Chains A and B, each alone.
Chain A
Amino acid sequence: MNHDAYDDNYIRGILNSVKSIAMVGASPVNVRPSYFAFKYLAQRGYDMIPVNPGHVGKQLLGKPFVASLTDIGRPVDMIDIFRSSAHIMPVVDEVLTLSPLPKVIWMQLGARDDAAAEKAEAAGIKVVMNRCPKIEYGRLSSEISWMGVNSRTLSSKRAPIPTQGMRLSLNRMSVGGGATAASDRAAKNKSEPT
């Protein structure tokens, strides 16, 4: 897997197939990127689970926080890690103790740990690094086009009108795939997420 530039079909396949997402490092503070992504993915119909030991006993948009992945107590399709690169490996190690294993480990924009990715992939888990699932979902559905963002997709089909909880079609023709050569030039040096 080339983690510098993902093919759109790889990302599309993941976002189309997963149903439940545990977000490690989810924040209840409504200006944090993790809150944005959590809320958006919940609105698009994903079964979201906030994981953050600092907020156990509280809820995020009606979903109770759990302290750790092992506390979820049911199978999860994808783990979305909102931690900086230095904190990725311990989370991946914890993921690998889960049974059944999740299908996907997703590391947020700015987060990348190639050794952790290799370990997860050796266990049969798909890995995405340095991407945001909210941005990728918005891009592949073209919902992000409202913001003048280059979705790098085309479609001659009539678009649905997004409503609360509705999953959008991601099945558009890709213009540039994940190979955004120019935009990935600076990606490796991006600042750490929180």
Chain B
Amino acid sequence: MTDRLPGFSTLAVHAGAQPDPTTGARVTPIYQTTSFVFNDADHAASLFGLQAFGNIYTRIGNPTTAVLEERMAALEGGTAALAVASGHAAQVVVLQQLLMPGDEFIAARKLYGGSINQFTHAFKSFGWNVAWADPDDIASFERAVTPRTKAIFIESIANPAGSITDIEAIADVARNAGVPLIVDNTLATPYLIRPIDHGADIVVHSLTKFLGGHGNSLGGIIVDGGTFDWSKENKYPMLSEPRPEYHGIRIQETFGNFAFAIACRVLGLRDLGPALSPFNAFMILTGIETLPLRMQKHCENAKAVAEFLAGHPAVASVNYAGLAGDKYNQLARKYAPKGAGAVFTFSLRGGYDAGVSLVSNLKLFSHLANVGDTRSLVIHPASTTHSQLDDDAKVRSGAGPDVVRLSIGIEDKEDLIGDLAQALSA
């Protein structure tokens, strides 16, 4: 007899959490401690040798953070997860397991501006070379594959314009190339899109956005799909070869289909150090409990605001995949039938100056560099998040000078539309 499978909302509340064994506390406690006492010398040795499950030191793992990790693994349909200090930290830790100096990875050109900077500049000093491809042109990914390619990186709903990526088509390219597909699922959240179901091998998030959802805590996570065989070819020695720091353990052989998450923890997080604070893990866990409710409202509001803007005379165009005529509407119907997210861009007939004026005239929307907050947010990417890109790269990544990006919150949609109406006519 098979148990009934709990639904997404049940997992969002329960997965990973159970009453505390010592106190019976029902809500996951904040284990605000750096270290954990060993039972005896053998227990300590077993933990350090990866032979036993348990806690050592909060840089490697923490009971509050572990609940967040299991919950995210459950929501994404992965085998395990590792939480880290930010979405950026997640990307460093993932690629450290996959790339050696001189190796390459292919990334979609449409990404969060911070990721473009990280890949272009910071990773260059590690000897990790990025090759850019166009998510609207699948063949451009195929053309970018070389013998040094170790991974492909895309966003499911892509910054800044909320465009939808054809995950399955790019997963095919990755499979043919024998490399894992990494999907940044931040703007979709697993409520809207579960990339592993579409062929992704690894999912990363900035938990700071819709998952935490309240704009109060930074965090990032890596979810292991458990789908990739790291030992098939000798391309991923961090996972397939004996590890000298653990007396010759082979990570995949020992940990099977959650080996990647373990490698990220015991080789990446342990040695690079971007641990998440247990307090932040607690805040994000609390946020995730209401993720399904919030995402429904975010998407409903975003669609209403996008429709309003599309009919406004001062607006030249709206890029929202949830609109019937949008270029990405077919992909949205396939990948995100519950809603196309709540981050999108539009451009003003008045160009750069009109964008600056709009931002300064808004009274309810906050002008700041974040997305996925309960509050509605506005930003002018060309002068902020994407300002370090050259003009050509700005346009190609969807952040031209006339573009304004919105992140729609969960306020009453009439108030959001009213604020935009007054700011556009001011």
Spell out A's residues near B (CB within 8 Å). 7-9, 30-31, 33, 35-36, 39-40, 43, 109-110, 132, 135, 138, 142-152, 154-161, 163-164, 173-177, 180, 182-187, 189-191, 193-194
Write out, one digit per residue, whether chain B residues 246-272 have a CB within 8 A of any chain A CB (1) or not (0): 111100111111100110010000000
Write out the residue numbers on chain B whose beta carbons fall within 8 Å of the beta carbon of A33. Answer: 253-254
In this assembly, does B229 line the interface, its C-beta being within 8 Å of a C-beta of chain A? yes
Asked whether any CB of chain A lies closer than 8 Å to the CB of B231, the reply is: yes
Q: Which of B1, B82, B229, B258 contacts A191 (CB 8 A)?
A: B229
Complex interface: chain A residues within 8 A of B51 (CB)? 30, 35-36, 39-40
Q: Which of B19, B49, B69 contacts A31 (CB 8 A)?
A: B49
The reply to whether the CB of B6 lies closer than 8 angstroms to some CB of chain A is yes
Query: Which residues of the other chain, A, contact B1 by a CB distance below 8 angstroms?
Result: 7, 9
In whole angstroms, how far apart are the Cα atoms of A184 and B19 in the complex?
31
* Cβ B63 vs Cβ A146 within 8 A: yes
Q: Are B226 and A158 in contact (CB under 8 A)?
A: no
Report yes or no: B61 in contact with A7, Cβ–Cβ below 8 A: no
Is the pair B6, A154 in contact by a Cβ cutoff of 8 Å? yes
Chain A residues within an 8 Å CB radius of B55:
146
B residues in contact with A149, CB < 8 Å: 70, 73, 79-80, 258, 261
Chain A CB within 8 A of B423 CB: no
Residue-wise interface mask of B (65-84) relative to A, using a CB-CB cutoff of 8 A (1 in contact, 0 not) = 11101100110011111110
Q: What CA separation (Å) do A157 and B74 show in the bound complex?
A: 19
Q: Which of B24, B78, B255 contacts A182 (CB 8 A)?
A: B78
Q: What residues of B have a CB within 8 angstroms of the CB of A174 in the complex?
A: 2-3, 5
Q: Is the interface of A mostly helix, strand, loop or mixed?
A: loop
Q: Quick one: which of A9, A31, A189 contacts B3, CB cutoff 8 A?
A: A9
Please name 15 further chain A to chain B contacts, defined as beta carbons within 8 Å, in addition to the given A159-B20, A174-B2, A191-B229, sorted by A numbering: A35-B51, A39-B46, A132-B256, A145-B16, A145-B70, A147-B258, A149-B258, A175-B15, A182-B77, A183-B78, A183-B226, A186-B226, A190-B229, A191-B240, A191-B252
Contacting residues, chain A, for B229 (C-beta < 8 A): 186, 189-191
Contact of A147 among B2, B66, B257 (CB under 8 A): B66
Q: Please determine whether A148 and B70 come into contact, CB atoms closer than 8 angstroms.
A: yes
CA distance A33 to B249 in the complex (A): 8
In whole angstroms, how far apart are the Cα atoms of A180 and B67 in the complex?
20
User: Sorted from nearest, which 5 A-B pairs have the closest CB atoms?
Assistant: A148-B69, A183-B226, A150-B73, A191-B231, A149-B80
Complex contact B18–A155 (CB within 8 A): yes
> Given A109-B256, A148-B83, A154-B15: A189 and B232 within 8 A (CB)?
yes
Does B225 interact with chain A (Cβ within 8 Å)? yes
A159 touches B254 (CB 8 A): no
Sample of 6 A–B contacts (CB below 8 Å): A40-B52, A148-B73, A164-B39, A177-B3, A183-B79, A190-B231
Closest-by-CB residue of A relative to B71 is: A150
Q: Which of B14, B24, B82, B252 contacts A154 (CB 8 A)?
A: B14
CB distance from A143 to the nearest CB of B (A): 5
Once the chains bind, are B226 and A182 in contact (CB under 8 Å)? yes
Q: Does B125 contact A (CB under 8 A)?
A: no
Chain B minimum-CB-distance residue to A158: B19
Report Cα–Cα, A25/B53, bound state, in Å: 23
B61 touches A159 (CB 8 A): no
Could you tell me the distance in whole angstroms from the C-beta of A152 to the nearest C-beta in chain B?
A: 7
CA distance A29 to B57 in the complex (A): 26
Assembly CA distance A156 to B20 (angstroms): 10
B19 contact set on A, CB distance < 8 A? 156-159
Q: Are A148 and B3 in contact (CB under 8 A)?
A: no
B21 within 8 A of A: yes
Which residues from A are CB-within-8-Å of B53? 138, 143-144, 146-147
A35 cross-chain contacts in B, Cβ below 8 A: 51
Q: Which of A155, A164, A175 contacts B74 (CB 8 A)?
A: A175
> A31 touching B249 by the CB < 8 A rule?
yes
Name the B residues within 8 Å of A138 (CB-CB): 53
Q: Return B88 CB to nearest CB of chain A, in Å.
A: 19
- From the candidates A36, A158, A186, name the one contacting B24 in the complex (CB within 8 A): A158
Nearest residue (CB) in B for A147 is B53
Q: Which residue of A lies closest to B45 (CB)?
A: A30
Q: Which B residues touch A147, using CB under 8 A?
A: 53, 61, 66, 80, 258, 261-262, 265
CB distance from A176 to the nearest CB of B (A): 6
Q: Please indicate the chain A residues that have their CB under 8 angstroms from the CB of B70 in the complex.
A: 145, 148-151
Contact A36 B254 (CB under 8 A): yes
Q: Which residues of B contact A146 (CB under 8 A)?
A: 53-55, 61, 63, 66
B425 within 8 Å of A (CB atoms): no
Q: Which residue of B lies closest to A43 (CB)?
A: B52
- Chain A residues contacting B20 (CB-CB under 8 Å) are 158-159
Task: Report how far A151 CA is from B66 CA in the complex, Å.
Answer: 12
